[in-house]
Structure 1
């Protein structure tokens, strides 16, 4: 299976490095600046691995062939641009696999590539270092794909990637979205890691926030199961934990955030479903304010 990974940032780079190591046929669609940065190869660091791997890159003006599988691994903010960039790669038998958080991208991609898009989930903690290398923090590197896509599953089932198949990928996507939205709301609203928030007396508010986001999923027809609910609460109420959400980290680092994609879309759907989400909406207002009037 010929694979195109759209984006060679932390997520796309980490998963791509594992696929390359297993001998998969992988090409990265990147911006010209990133292509120049990767000319000497992709520096990939994770526990037990520190390597520079040669890779094939193309930019939008060079892309002139179709692929079997297109994995979209960019932030939601970049989705509009990459949809246009990747069009030449999508043929009548191409499978498009976005591994973004939230759900708004699914409708957008389906409109652009009808019948070609499948759901997917990625779980990984990775970052780019100052030179553009990919650093995977810890061993978690999991991708979930629909159970009715055995070819995609086989292509992604390589050492270093925990491959999961789901009989209900939309429910799995909603479950992750509710957790990501709750984590973003908690950390952005209370401005810190969950351990400090719990120590400050924030546990009842955290529980309320989790209940808010999960109520939206239930109203949409995708109730979060008890195990996923317990995992979310355990992560967001662990005493002494230094866990923070990526939404919060982007905010404090001054980077563009996925606030509208993760919280804005959830709050809008909640309103349409007549589900109250006061704390999630409050965090969204704070994010919007910080975006338009950042601290000097």
Structure 2
């Protein structure tokens, strides 16, 4: 299966590197600057589950795209989605499967409008990654899970081929018949972790030490109420497992949105938090109490306003 990975950043580079090491037919679609890095230093991953150094991995620029690919894995930031769609459009054919690994749900509507819902799969990943100043990808925990499936839940010939292409490649790849449900559950988890660690500028463990458990619990409940109103109530075992992760004493978990703030970069506040608020309001899911979700979203938007002013 010819696979195009859009970008060789943290997520795309990590899973793409694992696939290359497993001998799969993988090409990265990159910008000129990243192409120069890959030519000079190769693809470098530093991971507790095994390092990768793949000299000059296969990569192309947008103008070099020709025949359609079988599978396109998309892992860009939400605010880069329009540019990414323009970049890989020439690689999409009638039978191309697009597997997005973005957080939230809004990207599915945008991708479906551009390329057609028939080309879309659902997907999510659970992994903590960053990049250092050299371009090396840093794996920050010992988890690297990737789940995928047809949005309908059907076990099609296409999704079985995707499962075969991603299997036994050095990470946990799971074919799911409930991928949309899982995406909602992860969204609630990510929104809580980002909202708390980002607005408190601290790890979840530090927030707990400061007495912040009620804030974590309340924000998670607000997110879960939105999911329920939209038809995807969190499954009870999953809800308990995620809440346990969010409130684990001593947790070093810090959302990538906090790292974005610390480096003065744009954030995915609109996609991760703002979209939940819009869906909440559309379904009239309000309690009349002070909303932690609103507070967290306002915090990030204030940061972005200040950032635009150059402060």
Q: Name the TM tier (shorter chain).
A: over 0.9
Instruction: Indicate if the aligned counterparts of 1:4 and 1:27 stay in contact, CA closer than 8 A.
Output: yes
CA distance in 1, matches of 2:232, 2:238: 12
- Distance across 1 between alignment mates of 2:97 and 2:214: 43
CA distance in 2 between partners of 1:185 and 1:292 (Å): 17
Matches within 5 A, 1:18-33: 18-33=18-33
Worse-superposed segment, 59-68 or 15-24: 59-68
User: In structure 1, what is the equivalent of residue 47 of structure 2?
Assistant: 46
Aligned residue runs from structure 1 range 177-256, under 5 A = 177-256=187-266
Q: d(CA) in 2 for partners of 1:286 and 1:138?
A: 27
Instruction: State the Cα distance separating 1:240 from its structure 2 match.
Output: 1.8
1:289 alignment counterpart: 302
Are residue 279 (structure 1) and residue 292 (structure 2) matched? Answer: yes
After TM superposition, the structure 1 = structure 2 runs for residues 141-152 of structure 1, keeping only pairs within 5 Å, are: 141-146=144-149, 148=155, 149-152=159-162
CA displacement at 1:50 relative to structure 2: 4.5
SS in 2 for 1:291: helix
Change (3 A) 1:136 1:76: same
SS of the residue corresponding to residue 8 of structure 1 reads: coil
* Displacement after TM superposition at 1:159 (Å): 3.2
Per the TM alignment, residue 241 of structure 1 is displaced from its structure 2 partner at its CA by: 1.7
CA RMSD, Structure 1 to Structure 2 (Å): 1.5
- DSSP 3-state at the match of 1:241: coil
Out of 177, 181, 206, the position equivalent to 1:171 is 181
What's 1:129 paired with? 132
Consecutive aligned runs of 4 or more in structure 1 exceeding 6 Å deviation: none
Report the equivalent of 2:106: 104
Q: Is the 8 A contact 2:17 2:54 kept in 1?
A: no
TM-score (norm: length of structure 1): 0.96
- Match of residue 83 from structure 2: 81
Structure 1 CA distance, aligned partners of 2:262 and 2:286?
Answer: 27
SS of equivalent to 1:255: coil
Shift of 1:253: 2.0
3-state DSSP class of the match of 2:299? Answer: helix
Determine the structure 1 residue equivalent to 2:15: 15
1:120 aligns with 2:123: yes
CA distances 1:236-288 after superposition (whole Å, capped 9, x unpaired)? 21112221111122112211111111001111111001112811111111111
* TM-score calculated relative to the size of structure 2: 0.91
Segments of 5+ residues of structure 2 without an aligned counterpart are none
Aligned partners of 1:274, 1:251: CA distance in 2, in Å? 31
Deviates more, 1:272-281 or 1:172-181: 272-281
1:265 maps to 275
Deviation (angstroms), 1:5? 0.2
2:119 counterpart SS class = coil
Q: 1:9 to 1:240 in 2, by over 3 A?
A: same
Point out where structure 1 has 5 or more consecutive residues left out of the alignment: none
Distance 1:231 1:6, change over 3 A: same
1:167 Cα shift?
1.3
Which digits, 9 at most, give the CA deviation of each residue in 1:118-177, with x for residues without a partner? Answer: 100111112212111222223311110116211111101123110112111111100000
